[in-house]
Structure 1
Amino acid sequence: MPRVYQYDVFISYQRSSSDISAWVRNHFHRRLSESLDNNLYRDVRIFFDDQMRAGTNWPSELRSALQRARVLVPVCSPKYFKDEWCLAEWHSMAKREELAGRTSPGGPRQLIYPVIYCDSWNFPDFAHERRMRDLQQWNFPYEHFQTAPAYLEFHQEIGRIAKELEELIELAPEWRADWPVLTPAADPPVPARIPRF
Structure 2
Amino acid sequence: MYQYDVFISYQRGDRVVPTWVRNHFHPRLSELLDSNLDREVKVFFDETLPTGSNWPVELRTALQRTRILVPVCSPKYFQSEWCLAEWHSMAKREELVGRASPGQPRLIYPVIFCDSRNFPAYAHERSMQDLKKWNLPYEHFQASQAYLEFHQKVEEIAEELEDLIALAPEWRPDWPVDTPMPEPPNRPRMPRF
TM-score, normalised by the number of residues in structure 1: 0.96
2:76 equivalent in structure 1: 79
**How many angstroms does 1:63 deviate by?**
0.1
Deviation digits for residues 124-150 of structure 1, max 9, x if unmatched? Answer: 000000000000010001111100110
Deviation digits for residues 119-177 of structure 1, max 9, x if unmatched? Answer: 00000000000000000010001111100110000000000000000000000000000
Choose which of 1, 15, 22 in structure 2 pairs with 1:18: 15
Choose which of 101, 109, 119 in structure 2 pairs with 1:123: 119
Counterpart CA distance in 2 for 1:27 and 1:81 is: 22
Counterpart CA distance in 1 for 2:187 and 2:43 is: 37
Choose which of 97, 101, 106 in structure 2 pairs with 1:104: 101
- Alignment partner of 1:91: what SS? helix
Choose which of 160, 163, 171 in structure 2 pairs with 1:175: 171
Q: Identity rate of aligned residues, in percent? A: 69
- Alignment partner of 2:101: what SS? coil
TM-score, normalised by the number of residues in structure 2: 0.98
1:38 equivalent in structure 2: 35
AA of the residue aligned to 1:33: S
**How many angstroms does 1:36 deviate by?**
0.4
AA of the residue aligned to 1:192: P
Give the gaps of 5 or more residues in structure 2. Answer: none
1:56 equivalent in structure 2: 53
Counterpart CA distance in 1 for 2:190 and 2:17 is: 37
Counterpart CA distance in 1 for 2:189 and 2:50 is: 29
**How many angstroms does 1:195 deviate by?**
5.6
- Within 5 Å, which residues of 2 pair with 1:128-147? 128-147=124-143
Gap change, CA 1:149 and 1:195, over 3 Å in 2 = farther
Counterpart CA distance in 1 for 2:114 and 2:178 is: 25
Counterpart CA distance in 1 for 2:136 and 2:158 is: 20
- Alignment partner of 2:136: what SS? coil
1:88 equivalent in structure 2: 85
**How many angstroms does 1:196 deviate by?**
6.4
Superposition RMSD in Å: 1.0
Counterpart CA distance in 2 for 1:161 and 1:111 is: 14
1:154 equivalent in structure 2: 150
Counterpart CA distance in 1 for 2:96 and 2:192 is: 56
* Count of residues in correspondence between the two structures: 193
Deviation digits for residues 97-136 of structure 1, max 9, x if unmatched? Answer: 0001001112x30000000000000000000000000000
Counterpart CA distance in 2 for 1:190 and 1:81 is: 26
Give the gaps of 5 or more residues in structure 1. Answer: none
Moved over 4 A (4+): 194-197
